[in-house]
Structure 1
């Protein structure tokens, strides 16, 4: 049953108004990204009011940049963002399945199935689907396994150069580091206009040295990281107006110079500062031939600290004696400024090995998209290493849909209709992939279902070039199991949350004199 048609009837129970409104909002969000999935998926153009354009088929980028007001739509977008933050890929799959789950759930409610029973069945079906993915996951134990390159190629949208960069970086970093929970390979990716593709052991700081009189290159460098401003302690203007206050100001200036001279005395050759650097410090350090970079992003400082073995220090920490400060220092074999790319490279740190993936781009317009593609590939490769892989191209979802449908008999009463919602939603990724490739989705999904059942295989899918059924594993079409797990769980969470909403009420504006007129109407919320 068409949701819009169902919602337009004058006799529709008012209790379903919120559900129908939310379902239509979710459908609009799903429609924005469904055309991008699969090898034949197309791009979306995003245009702002100033005429700035982003062209991409990256699901989370489309959702993040969309102008959205409806609260249910925002819930779906937030789930996609959470998927991206957790595993770095699979946002389009999660969005498509969530949209399908909501639509299927609403249709069941319109048939007379209580919402509570639909939700019960959805939760049962999602739990069964998650268990089925885990059971079918194949492990990766070797970074030389060719399957990782296939993962990188698929997530990297068939860009061979990007796939090669990601695999090279993974091998440099090693299995132990890639399996760490707080390490993300995607964060090692950067893209620059005019750069050559490159992977190297080291980190990039996206800044230039403070002035051109400082050395351009430093070898065997002691490195100091200041998580603060390299400036004298501040005093209030009122305090400076008194004789005692002015005397204190002179003392602080002298103490600051002494602290900066400690840096020189320790033989530090590179100083990275979170905030600004005072003119006095710049002069002293320049004269001493120290390489200084200011206003370095906190994320970059942390990466440098990890790679060089340095510990970050506050400016007040410079009051300590030299022996204590030296324990904060790190070191690197080489630090230099790439003037063409306007960035600083730190190579051969004595801390943990850290690879950087530098992706080249011909023009400024494609820098962002190349970086997004490389980050997706890196996230997928790391996810496959941590959690294994499953057949891709929407095939594993079909196999799981069969298992969920078979489990329908295990649940009593009308909750079985909620299980049907999950089984149908799991078919949606393959359905959309083949539709984007120009084939009849109903015909192809049923063809895959039949052959998977008769041949007992979970890897049979559709070749989007020929339209024929093929074994995805033998073709090297695979997806990280973690991406599928999170997509299924995320879709289930947002769908049940939206289905549970019975009433929408515009909240009173807080902290303002008067609410904006009709502020809630765009979200389908009534005024009271």
Structure 2
């Protein structure tokens, strides 16, 4: 058994060595995204072995696409994924907070503070900070609240067209739907080269009609959705090799043809399939002007069923009566295939409200980035509707840092050093934003701290254009409260996990295990 990264020369030295090695790996990950944070943050270019290029400011994209091998660094990638999955924004902030917590924790250990006390103190500090954030969160007063636009504008990298489109989409979806825990507003965003920005009161299926001869525009749409193929019941080759099996095959095929006739009785003019459509059904649909969309993604089928009021069926359900099948159909006013964009639009559905935000992009190279920006804005809008907002620009975190510096004296024992680590780490996002804007972080943070103390408010921050103190709420610089809360909570969990690592041991390879 051997340890990594150094030879074992005493448990204390080994622990410090492991902590330092993990800290360096975590700092390297944070260093890859720190230059993107804040209004003056820049982009990162990611290049693969084939010469493919991604230019982005999006923290989670950078972290997921970069090559990472160190186990502690991989924990940071997991942090970013969790932040993106839960709230859809704030991955860079969460990464910087976690990296700083690890660095501050290691510094306390080097001073002689037991690691267990540091970890316990960090947990206390994070819990106190989260409680204060929750208390300070302010509610959004509906879709006309100017704060909501400011949130979309900031999360959307100050692209006004995207911010306004996202707000329009949210208004169309409705407040009640936006608050549903399983509903992800950002999934309604799609970017298209050559398209114009618009909010579609309807849904999109990214698929072409099965045949060019099929209709591309329908009115009074009666829609059948199958989570299956449109084909006869499958029979194995062994069964077909027997007389009984072959007769059964002919019977199934005849029943299938009769079932296709039911589409005419039901006046179905569009069919959406999970899988393929056999030649018999394709010819039948061509002859009767029925549009078939096959191999449609599950997420798109689910949106279609919700929007049109349809109920997804299996192919065997076609054996049911006309009255039963009619209750499973979906209805919409219009369906249209846009050949230039390569997708089908369904509008005027009679089910639940749905909207699709189409983001235009001038070239294929910027489609991905425009979509990421719009998704971030959409996620931020939904998060703020659910949990309110807080002053942005790092001002709320700095205020928390000041609070913890005082609150730390109420903590008995050496856990107070862990609380100090949290207080210092909460200054990291603002310090980096100041650095990216070209100012001196030490000078400006002290300036903002003094201004906050004088005004007695958490909303005083820094104008990154002028370098002067300003009220973030007055300036419209606000962030969704759930983004900050989740970033702090996740950063605390990941940093504590990294600080708990006593040593890193290389596992036996599978080949060695087999030899034994």
1:67 and 2:86 matched: no
Asked whether the 8 Å contact 1:202–1:348 carries over to 2, the reply is: yes
Asked whether the 8 Å contact 2:166–2:357 carries over to 1, the reply is: yes
TM-superposed deviation, 1:515: 8.2
Alignment-derived partner of residue 55 in structure 1: 55
Runs ≥4 residues deviating over 3 A: 513-516
Asked whether the 8 Å contact 1:395–1:461 carries over to 2, the reply is: yes
Query: How does 1:149-160 map onto structure 2 within 5 Å?
Result: 149-160=149-160
Structure 1 distance, partners of 2:504, 2:323, is 64
Alignment-derived partner of residue 477 in structure 1: 477
Alignment-derived partner of residue 46 in structure 1: 46
Q: Deviations over 1:196-238 (max 9, x none)?
A: 1111210011111111211111111111111111122222222
RMSD of aligned residue pairs (Cα, Å):
1.7
Alignment-derived partner of residue 219 in structure 2: 219
Alignment-derived partner of residue 346 in structure 1: 346
Alignment-derived partner of residue 507 in structure 2: 507
Q: How many residues align?
A: 509
Structure 2 distance, partners of 1:398, 1:104, is 16
Structure 2 distance, partners of 1:250, 1:228, is 21
Alignment-derived partner of residue 273 in structure 1: 273
Structure 2 distance, partners of 1:34, 1:75, is 17
**What is the TM-score normalised by the length of structure 2?**
0.96
Q: Deviations over 1:460-497 (max 9, x none)?
A: 11111111111111110000001000000010010011
TM-superposed deviation, 1:263: 2.0
TM-superposed deviation, 1:141: 2.1
Structure 2 distance, partners of 1:508, 1:285, is 60
Structure 2 distance, partners of 1:251, 1:69, is 59
Structure 1 distance, partners of 2:153, 2:31, is 26
Query: How does 1:407-418 map onto structure 2 within 5 Å?
Result: 407-418=407-418
1:454 and 2:454 matched: yes
Structure 1 distance, partners of 2:507, 2:327, is 54
Alignment-derived partner of residue 233 in structure 2: 233
What is the DSSP-based 3-state SS (H/G/I as helix, E as strand, rest coil) of the residue aligned with 2:201? Answer: strand
What is the DSSP-based 3-state SS (H/G/I as helix, E as strand, rest coil) of the residue aligned with 1:401? Answer: helix
Q: Deviations over 1:28-75 (max 9, x none)?
A: 100000000001001001011101000001000000101111111111
Q: Deviations over 1:248-283 (max 9, x none)?
A: 222222222222222222111111001111111111
Q: Deviations over 1:171-203 (max 9, x none)?
A: 111111111111111111000001011112100
Asked whether the 8 Å contact 1:307–1:354 carries over to 2, the reply is: yes
What is the DSSP-based 3-state SS (H/G/I as helix, E as strand, rest coil) of the residue aligned with 2:353? Answer: coil
Structure 1 distance, partners of 2:412, 2:378, is 44
Name whichever of 437-446 and 314-323 sits farther off. 314-323
Asked whether the 8 Å contact 1:231–1:278 carries over to 2, the reply is: yes
Structure 2 distance, partners of 1:406, 1:322, is 73
Q: Deviations over 1:307-328 (max 9, x none)?
A: 1111111111112112111111
Classify 1:190/1:109 alpha carbon distance in 2 versus 1 (closer, same or farther; 3 Å): same
Structure 2 distance, partners of 1:245, 1:35, is 68
1:184 and 2:189 matched: no
Name whichever of 257-266 and 405-414 sits farther off. 257-266
TM-superposed deviation, 1:501: 1.0
Structure 2 distance, partners of 1:107, 1:26, is 14
Alignment-derived partner of residue 260 in structure 2: 260
Asked whether the 8 Å contact 1:264–1:285 carries over to 2, the reply is: no
Alignment-derived partner of residue 399 in structure 2: 399
Structure 2 distance, partners of 1:453, 1:286, is 74
TM-superposed deviation, 1:240: 1.6
Alignment-derived partner of residue 464 in structure 2: 464
Name whichever of 303-312 and 238-247 sits farther off. 238-247
Alignment-derived partner of residue 3 in structure 2: none
1:444 and 2:418 matched: no
TM-superposed deviation, 1:135: 1.0
Structure 1 distance, partners of 2:65, 2:158, is 24
For structure 1, the 5+ residue unaligned runs are 1-6, 517-528
What is the DSSP-based 3-state SS (H/G/I as helix, E as strand, rest coil) of the residue aligned with 1:474? Answer: helix
Alignment-derived partner of residue 359 in structure 1: 359
